[in-house]
Amino acid sequence: MAAAVRAPDGVIIDFTLVYLNEAGGRFLGRPRKELIGRGYRELWPDTVTDGTLPFYRRVVQERVPAVRTVYYDRASVTGHFEFRVVPFGDGFIARFVDLRKLTMGAQTEGGTRLYDALDAAFDGFALLRAVRGGTGAIVDFTREYVNQIGAKLAGRTVEELVGHRIGNAHSSSTELNLLPIYREVADSGEPWQQQLTSPTTGQVWELKATRVGDDVVAVSYRDVTEQVGHQEQLMSSAAQVRAAATRTAALQAVTAALVAASTPEQVYAALGEVVRSTAGGNSLAVLLTEQDRLVLSYHVGYEEHVVAALADLPLSHPYPATGVIAAGEPRYLTSPAEFCAAQPDPRTAIPGGTRQAWAFLPLSTGGQLLGALVIGYPRPREFDEDERDNLVAFSQLAAQALQRALLFQAQMSIAADLQRALLPTELPTLPGARHAVRYLPWTHGADIGGDWYDVIHIDSHTAAVVIGDVAGHSPQAAATMGQVRNAIRAYAADGHGPAGVMQRVNQLLLRFEPHAMATCCYLELQLTEGTATAALAGHPPPVLRVDGRARCLDLRTGPPLGVRGAHYRDSTFLLPRGSTLVLYTDGLVEDRRYPLDRGLADLYTALDAAPTDNPEDLVEHLLGADVGPSPRRDDVAILALTVDAEPPPGPRTARRRFRGDADSTSAARHFADDILAAWDQHPLREDAGLLLGELIANAVQHTAGDVEVLITLGQRLRIDVHDSSNRHPVKRPVDICSDAGRGMHIIEHLADAWGSAPLPGTGKTVWFELQSPNGDTDERHP
């Protein structure tokens, strides 16, 4: 968090750092105490001229959030950062991520393997984000990422390139010439690939540009000078040229098909359509190892009786594929006679079908043998050295793609199972209410969202509904979500009110997950009496729909869970019969491109237009309406609850149970104040709060266990306080110097009537009454 430093004429000339969290200090490599309180120009003088200060100044002056990616390798700061900046007061708040740690850290081994694979396949790699002008047309590109080799090829450093546009002074003439091509790739989505020769060095580069996201183009560079030179040497022999071209085309076809495959089924389809045809075979089978057996996982071109025989083979079988697994080396059979000789016992031999020659190839990668690839040919043939090399290359590419696809499939399965396990499988039925929930995941692969919902049946009178969102999309975020959800259930079952639940969950999170953060909305419902008490921890407030009109509830809000020193307060409001509560996570209404106010307006409009109060139909209506950003870039959880309970006959009532602790006094006073305001009893709020506070304080001081407050509005306002003590209040004499003992005197002076009575079994009730200027004369209840 930074505050603007202004000149006498009001112009922002610098910013003072007023807050930095521990992670920020680690990223910047300096203790926070050395940074906080000092100006940007003093802390990072060697970055002042790169546009950073104008960027911050523009956010503060225009009051518009912005995102910027920069790469620094300087004396005062080093890193590849993404800044998300929002205006705050006369300054801004910036959330920044060290992208190098994010993508290459040990905790993201999948990301590490991906970047290692890119570096192995190409000499240079860059990500370009389109910059659009006022008409929407692409006018330039900003380099969001470039690896060290890619920067070296451009004759620049990574720092000089990342965060800068192609059209600036650092760009080469070649790069400027490619700008129209990059624009075409970004607009059309069609990939582009071509070889270019450097006019100065004579090097030949193979460039490939592919759109990988909205307005993002990935560019890869490969030095193919040696390959091109080798091909030129082969020009003297037409036959050699044709053979080399055929092998290159085949390898490129296989590579393109397998790189695009992300599931085992896509890998198998690529093998069947590309590898089989380019290798000249008419049939193909993939046999994968499972413990001591070979299992047929894919086949094409084989007869049914051959498929049945290949379905499940022990590794001890003489079929040539098992020998390939044992030796790890390919085997080539050029005729049916050789095939029969490999399986001397005709009773157990696998039939060859119509094939006349075979290539048995190991599917091996990284020292792991996945199985065997079998290619069958319609005529006898010899396998020369070049063809054998090509077949081995094909099998290695297939093994790499298959291993990647199997790993991705396993990650997807684990992620889906974990997500299902952490969300409730079945929600309880609540007497007097109907509810419906939806969870829409946005993440892919092993990423798991931290959104959750819950419905908790506390006792015969009380239930709770919960919705929340743990920051991040990862297995760790999902695990934290499970811990928070279970903690909320435990504290709710233990009888804590909404604020008490949030307070204790926050302390638990700080102790065991100090770097985690979550938002949460927790509502305790008294359905028969038509009241709800809420605690908000940095979460969007719920929306209440009454008589077909939706409005946002104005509730007391606390900071997100995971903030030290956080304090939470309850808010109580009325839930009329037929009303509907809608709880949601922020992915429904906002993202970095879609402002929250706009998303909330969409939500209110959709709820106003909803044709029904049935929760299931209402949720479907919301998901089908044009609410929030599209396409979505975050998970969404929605919980809708409609109140059906009839109010009890007689005067209006509202009740809540409080723990016998020091926080109960203020919580009870807030409860009474909210209820009386909702009942339009404003003249009584101050006296009622004072008298209730005295009774609660007396009950907490002289008894153990919970305290229940019952508020009844008839011709008079009556408030009863039930506790488990049999000791009745006694008015004690006090003198002018006494600090205690005045509670009963205050009650006797302010209340129109008061008293106490024993409860059946054990405990007592202490009550007081106040004359209501507009008491409840409504005869709604028979």
Residue 333 φ/ψ region, left for φ over 0, alpha for ψ in the -120 to 50 degree band, beta for the rest: beta
- DSSP string of 473-538? ESHHHHHHHHHHHHHHHHHHHTT--HHHHHHHHHHHHHHH-TT--EEEEEEEEETTTTEEEEEEEB
Structure tokens at 697: 């304080």
58 three-state secondary structure: helix
Provide the CA 723 distance to its chain's centre, in angstroms.
Answer: 45
pLDDT at 442 over 90: no
Averaged confidence pLDDT in the chain: 83
Output the pLDDT for position 782: 31
pLDDT tens sequence across 586-620: 999 998 889 999 999 999 999 999 998 999 999 99
pLDDT tens sequence across 724-762: 888 877 666 665 655 555 667 788 888 889 998 988 888
User: Whole-prediction pTM value?
Assistant: 0.52
pLDDT tens sequence across 457-514: 998 888 999 999 998 877 777 778 888 999 999 999 988 999 999 999 999 999 988 9
Output the pLDDT for position 252: 66
Output the pLDDT for position 232: 65
Using only C-alpha atoms, what is the Rg of the chain?
A: 36
- Cβ contacts of 450 within 8 Å, gap of 6 or more: 469, 470, 471, 472, 473, 477, 478, 480, 481, 518, 635
Give dist(CA 761, CA 741) in Å, integer: 28
Lowest mean pLDDT among 269-283, 367-381, 570-584: 269-283
Residue 235 φ/ψ region, left for φ over 0, alpha for ψ in the -120 to 50 degree band, beta for the rest: alpha
Q: Which long-range contacts (CB under 8 A, 24 or more apart) does 249-256 make?
A: 249/278, 250/278, 250/279, 250/390, 250/394, 251/390, 251/393, 251/394, 251/397, 253/278, 254/278, 254/394, 254/397, 254/398, 255/397
Phi, psi of 111 (to 5 degrees): -65, -40
For residue 107, what is the enclosing H or E element? none
pLDDT tens sequence across 131-153: 998 898 999 988 888 877 777 77
Output the pLDDT for position 104: 44
pLDDT tens sequence across 287-296: 999 888 999 9
- Cis omega (within 30 of 0) for bond into 758: no
Helices of type H across 126-189 = 148-153, 158-161, 173-188
Q: Are 261 and 285 in contact (CB under 8 A)?
A: no
Band (pLDDT 50/70/90 cuts) for residue 418 is low
Q: Which residues pair with 206 in a beta bridge?
A: 195, 222
For residues 229-235, average pLDDT:
68
Lowest mean pLDDT among 44-58, 272-286, 399-413: 272-286
The DSSP code for 122 is -
Phi, psi of 552 (to 5 degrees): -80, 135
> β-strand 192-197 against 124-132: which pairing, if any?
unpaired
